[in-house]
Structure 1
Amino acid sequence: MKNLYDVMQLLKRYGTVIYTADYKADLELMEDEVKELYRLQFISAKEYASALLILRQKKVEYDKK
């Protein structure tokens, strides 16, 4: 996984599409969904770590604006 689009495609693979028109809320909801997918063992530890890293980087970038 390299970017936010890849994280969104990962979630879409499991039937989750997140769009609330609030970018920061979207990132938080995506993070919650990724955690839940990992907890239920749908995704690997590598996918989990990569997705969380991307989402947290996007949060930091958004907060700097």
Structure 2
Amino acid sequence: MDENIRTLYDVQQLLKGYGIFVHLGKRLWDIELMHEELIRIHDARLIEDKVFQTAALVLKREHRYEQAKTDEQL
């Protein structure tokens, strides 16, 4: 499963499989909430460590990208 997680969309699909849909209206907020939800399903032992780590890295990368875009606009 983790080899298929490469994009934010892939993480969204992973969460969707557990009935978690995130849309707050701002991409940066969405990423932060997705990370919190990812932690919850990992703590509940619903996903393996490797899947969690891969998805968390994708979210971290996307968060850095969005934060850099926000910083440029200021």
TM-score, normalised relative to structure 1: 0.96
Consecutive unaligned residues of structure 1, counting only runs of 5 or more, are none
Runs ≥4 residues deviating over 6 A: none
Consecutive unaligned residues of structure 2, counting only runs of 5 or more, are 70-74
- Is 1:15 the counterpart of 2:15? The answer is no
TM-score, normalised relative to structure 2: 0.85
Root-mean-square deviation (CA, aligned residues, Å) is 0.6
The percentage of aligned residue pairs carrying the same residue is 32
Bigger Cα Rg = 2
Deviation readout 1:16-61 (Å, 9 max, x if unpaired):
0000111111001000000000000000001100110000100100
- Aligned residue pairs total 65
Aligned equivalent of 1:39: 43
